[in-house]
Structure 1
């Protein structure tokens, strides 16, 4: 995950939700967003 830019991580997170990917993968992305102190409510889809 460290190789993804913040913007790419946000895009991947939103895309994973749109595609209804595995919840464990979405949780992993959400944890990385939290680690980087990116609040999901603040980002635009």
Structure 2
């Protein structure tokens, strides 16, 4: 039972690092120019049998 807090801390640290990386990448993506305008956007419809 002595190792449980270490495992929980490790999982929480990995989760926090993932959130930080996601935040930075979303900020970077919002700074970039959009790659497609409204008329150039591709719409994909799903087909069901």
Q: TM-score range by the shorter chain?
A: 0.3 to 0.5
TM-score (norm 2): 0.33
Structure showing greater relative contact order (alpha-carbon pairs closer than 8 Å, 6 or more residues apart): 1
TM-score (norm 1): 0.35
Q: Indicate the structure with greater helix content.
A: 1
